[in-house]
Homo-oligomer: A and B are copies of this chain.
Amino acid sequence: MAGQEDTIGVVGLGLMGGSLLRRLSASGAATAGWDADPATCAAALAAGLTVPASLGDLVSGSGTVFVAVPLPRLGEVLDDLSAAGRPGLVVSDLTSVKEPVRSLAAGRDFAFVGGHPMAGTAESGFAASDADLLAGCPWVLTLDEETDVDAWLAVATIVTGLGARVVPVTSFDHDAVVARVSHLPHLLAAVLVAGVADDPLARTLAAGSFRDGTRVAATRAELTAAMCSGNADAIDAELAKALNRMDSARRLLRRPEKLTEWFAAAQQTRQGWPAATTSGPQRVELKLPADDDLREQLLAAGSAGGHVTRVAPGSVFVSLPAPAAS
């Protein structure tokens, strides 16, 4: 039986937390989950998962705790974890913005490693949770100046063990990039959806491009709004860039050849994504020594499109995209 220090706790058993707890449990790890909603706890118990009687019981029995609650509730849960006063505790989260979380976690008596699994569906709640949701997804673990590298490696060991691709990145860079690749798609989906409101003909004629371009608009509005307002500065900057791009396209509408070039650039980029994000001849695997340069080495690997595949004693394995042969 695993010792307490090996037990992994998950607080918040909605879509993401429920999926994480299911996946950890399926991997054979000693786990415990808890949710503020008793009905959710009951559902998790009924699904065969371990649910202690209280959050305090969960913390006192776990070496690492993943907090999977929405940003507006995160501070309160971190307060509870602080109050539990468990020595050596490592805490991570699953929230989609990292600078605000970094502020909330600053100066705590546990080690904190910000996390963000890049997976999801338009559904929410424990009933929608699924261990396969997190299969092979990119999973950011933030590496800031104040981050304890040993705690980071402990969390990375768990997350790579689940088959996720751990991406090392600063909280600031994370927020800028997700504004562009996640929050902006959510905003534009809502913009597109408004085009069929109160128009039965438009609803009839909307087809594949509308369906895909608006899928995430069906996400629970509270979650999307919390995610976006938590990252307002970065989104503001990305919206400005998007508005400029739209204006470029608008000026090319009556110049078919130039418009073709504009769309061709997008076509090339889209067709080249997400080629070789995992393995194969277009990736190289490198072993980084776990020495004093590890933090900078990991961040350099992340910004080059790399991810951690495995943590071993004294070294970390990273997979990087190789330049295409010309």
- Report which A residues bind B (CB closer than 8 A): 72, 118-121, 137-138, 140, 165, 167, 169, 173-174, 177-178, 180-182, 184-197, 199-222, 224-226, 228-229, 232, 235-236, 238-239, 241-243, 245-246, 249-250, 253-256, 259-267, 269-271, 273-274, 277, 302-307, 321
Shortest beta-carbon distance from A297 to chain B in Å: 15
Query: How many monomers of this chain does the complex have?
Result: 2
Q: In whole angstroms, what is the CA distance A255 to B181 when docked?
A: 22
Q: Which residues of B contact A213 (CB under 8 A)?
A: 185, 188-189, 212-213, 215-216
Q: Name which of A119, A196, A204, A262 has the most chain B CB atoms within 10 A of its CB.
A: A204
- Report if A267-B219 is in contact (Cβ < 8 Å); known contacts: A228-B259, A254-B232: yes
Report yes or no: B229 in contact with A255, Cβ–Cβ below 8 A.
yes
Given contacts A190-B262, A215-B212, A265-B194, contact A201 B182 (CB under 8 A): no
Given known contacts A212-B216, A253-B228, A260-B225, A307 and B192 CB-to-CB distance under 8 angstroms = no
Q: Which of B137, B191, B253 contacts A246 (CB 8 A)?
A: B191
**Contact between B220 and A119 (Cβ–Cβ < 8 Å)?**
no
B residues within 8 A CB of A264?
221
* Residues of B contacting A256 in the complex (Cβ-Cβ under 8 angstroms): 72, 225-226, 229
